[in-house]
């Protein structure tokens, strides 16, 4: 069984709307032809990402607890983020990051050394440059 990290860059107004009306998250992640934002979506195999992070943490930090070893990667994947508990993505609630938090995550992924080889780093960096927030979840 696979687990996918699903991310959507969005503007601050959409973040506020998602907090107040979680059903709007469905439309954001829809791959319908009518969804203009579908091209800005990002998906990443969460299990593979976690396995790589565990292996790296074990080698570099002596512990497979990658969420502690790499706090910015953890935030990029929803750990320690604001959540929309009323919207279950599949493996927990949707999470939200403000544009400022997206910028911090992008910078943190760069410092932790993830940006060069995970698509996640460039995706967050692009969102930060665009002044976007992030809505995500694991399905």
pLDDT at 40: 78
The model's pLDDT over 8-43, given as tens digits with 9 standing for 90+, comes to 999 999 899 999 999 888 877 776 656 565 557 899
For residue 33, the model assigns a pLDDT of 56
- Kindly report whether the global pTM for this prediction surpasses the value 0.85: yes
Query: What is the CATH class of 4-24+41-138?
Result: alpha beta
Mean pLDDT per 10-residue interval, the chain, length 139 residues: 90 91 83 60 94 96 95 97 93 96 97 90 96 95
Which of 49-57's residues contact partners 24+ apart within 8 Å by CB, and which partners? 49/5, 49/77, 49/118, 49/120
DSSP string, 77-102: TTTT-EEEEEEE-SSSEEEEE-HHHH
């Amino acid at each position: 069984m696979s687990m996918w990290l699903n991310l959507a860059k969005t503007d601050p107004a959409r973040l506020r709307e998602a907090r107040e009306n979680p059903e709007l998250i469905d439309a954001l992640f829809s791959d319908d032809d009518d969804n203009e934002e579908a091209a800005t979506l990002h998906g990443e195999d969460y299990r593979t990402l976690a396995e790589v992070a565990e292996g790296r943490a074990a080698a570099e930090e002596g512990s497979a607890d990658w969420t502690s070893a790499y706090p910015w990667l953890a935030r990029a994947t929803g750990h320690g983020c604001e959540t929309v508990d009323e919207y279950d993505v599949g493996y927990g609630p949707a999470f939200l990051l403000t544009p400022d938090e997206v910028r911090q995550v992008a910078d943190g992924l760069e410092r932790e050394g993830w940006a060069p080889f995970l698509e996640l780093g460039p995706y967050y960096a692009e969102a930060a440059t665009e002044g976007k927030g992030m809505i995500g979840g694991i399905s």
